[in-house]
A and B are shown apart, each in its own frame.
Chain A
Amino acid sequence: DAGVTQSPTHLIKTRGQQVTLRCSPKSGHDTVSWYQQALGQGPQFIFQYYEEEERQRGNFPDRFSGHQFPNYSSELNVNALLLGDSALYLCASSLVLAGEETQYFGPGTRLLVL
C-alpha cells in the first residue's frame, strides 16, 4: 500500500516565477492538506481539499492556490515567488471514519527561491 507521494523532491526557482507541486494521497484517502514548513518551525497549514473543493484555508495569500482532481490527487501552485517562500512543502492525506481523522504526511518538496 503506497503512502503519500510528492513530486518533485527538490526544486529551485527564482523570484517572480511560478511553481506547481504535486501530491498523490494514500490509497483510500479522499482529503488532501498542504503545509509549509520553514526551517526550525512547525508545519503551517495552507489549505485543505475535499471533493475537489477548498474546504479550509490558513493564513496564506492568494498567491497560494490549489486543485484536487477526481482521483483525489492534488496540486499546490504558488505564483510570484518570494524569497520567503523557500521552505519544505508537505502534503498530508486523510479519510474521516466515524468522526475521526488522521493525517498522513508525504516526504515533502524542498523549494528554494533565489
Chain B
Amino acid sequence: LAKTTQPISMDSYEGQEVNITCSHNNIATNDYITWYQQFPSQGPRFIIQGYKTKVTNEVASLFIPADRKSSTLSLPRVSLSDTAVYYCLVALSGGSYIPTFGRGTSLIVHP
C-alpha cells in the first residue's frame, strides 16, 4: 500500500498560486497519482491525474519528479470557492490495489 503524507492545512489569498505537496515514498512502478477536491458533505471531485513529469488541465497542474516519491498539485490564482480539502491518492493501477487516502490538506482561501 502506498502511504501518502500531506500538510494538514494551508492558507492562501485570492489570486495567489497554491502548491500542495504530497509525499509517497513507496510508490509502486505501476501506480498513478490522483488528486481530488472535497467540499463538506460531498463526494471527492477529480482534479488531475498523472504518472510522471508534468500534467496540466483547465483547473490545475501536477508536477511529478523523476523519482516519483512526491507530487505537487498547483492551483493557479485561487478564489474563495477553492476552499476545500485536497487529497492525493496513489495506487490506481488497473485493479490490483487497495487505494488509501490520507487525511488530506485543508486549504483556506482568504479574501
* A contact set with B: CB distance below 8 Å: 4, 31, 33, 35, 40-45, 48, 50, 55-58, 88, 90, 92, 94, 96, 99-108, 110
**In the complex, chain B residues whose CB is within 8 Å of the CB of A41:** 103
B87 touches A108 (CB 8 A): no
Q: Which of B19-27, B29-37, B71-79 contacts A (4 or more CB under 8 A)?
A: B29-37
B95 touches A55 (CB 8 A): yes
A105 touches B36 (CB 8 A): yes
Q: What does DSSP make chain A's interface, helix, strand, loop or mixed?
A: strand
Q: Which size bracket describes the interface of B in this complex?
A: 20 to 34
Is there a chain A Cβ closer than 8 Å to B54's Cβ? Answer: no
Q: A45-B100, A50-B95 are in contact. Are A103 and B43 (CB under 8 A)?
A: no
A-B contact pairs, 17 of them (CB 8 A): A41-B103, A42-B87, A42-B103, A45-B98, A50-B95, A55-B95, A56-B95, A56-B98, A92-B43, A99-B30, A101-B92, A101-B93, A102-B49, A103-B34, A103-B46, A105-B44, A105-B46
Distance in Å: Cβ of B22 to nearest Cβ of chain A:
12
Q: A102-B34, A108-B41, A110-B41 are in contact. Are A44 and B101 (CB under 8 A)?
A: yes
